[in-house]
Amino acid sequence: MNFRPRAKEEPEINLIPFIDVLLVILIFLMLTTTYSKFTELQLTLPVADAEQQRDHPKEVVVAVAADGRYAINKSGIDGKSVDHLAAALRDAAKAGQGTVVIISADALAPHQSVISVMEAARRVGLTQITFATQSSARAGAGK
């Protein structure tokens, strides 16, 4: 009887046939794929000037400068208090409760100035508030 341990053969993984099969599948998929358009109807959309469609009486633009000064619809406000802002917002909000307040604050404006605008809008009853930003492409061109 032969009780000597036999030398075990290490299994060898050959990846070349696997890669060949994957390349054949990839080529098959590339050749059989069709690039079709999903819309089959040719449409001519109506043309309109977007600036004319905007409803400006329902918007109040509040600009906040870097030093904390305010302007509502491009007209400056004398005071910096919340009461002065609330009175000016009440006068500028022609559409009443449906008016949208657009806060256009300078990047270096104090945080408290923006919060004061929001508090003044709340006191007047204007609940729709949004913030204006500019795209990074325009910001880079302005430097």
CA 70 to CA 93: how far, in whole Å?
A: 16
- Provide the token pair at 131: 């913030």
For the chain, the maximum distance between any two Cα atoms, rounded to a whole number of angstroms, is 110
Q: How many structural domains comprise the chain?
A: 1
Note whether residue 11 is domain-resident: no
What number of H helices and E strands is found in the chain?
5, 5
pLDDT at 53: 47
Q: What is the mean pLDDT of residues 39-59?
A: 58
Contact 82, 68 (CB under 8 A): no
Note whether residue 141 is domain-resident: no
CA 46 to CA 53: how far, in whole Å?
A: 13
* Least confident range of 20-24, 72-76, 96-100, 128-132: 96-100
CA 61 to CA 75: how far, in whole Å?
A: 10
**pLDDT at residue 19 greater than cutoff 80:** yes
Q: What is the pTM of this model?
A: 0.56
pLDDT bucket at 122, cuts 50 / 70 / 90: very high
Q: What is the mean pLDDT of residues 91-97?
A: 79
Contact 101, 117 (CB under 8 A): yes
The whole-chain average pLDDT of the chain stands at: 79
- With a CB cutoff of 8 Å and minimum separation 6, the contacts of 64 are 70, 103, 104, 105, 106, 109, 113, 114, 117
Note whether residue 96 is domain-resident: yes
CATH of the domain at 109: 3.30.420.270
Contact 99, 59 (CB under 8 A): yes
pLDDT bucket at 134, cuts 50 / 70 / 90: confident
Which residue range is the domain that position 115 belongs to? Answer: 55-133
**pLDDT at residue 47 greater than cutoff 80:** no
**pLDDT at residue 119 greater than cutoff 90:** yes
Note whether residue 79 is domain-resident: yes
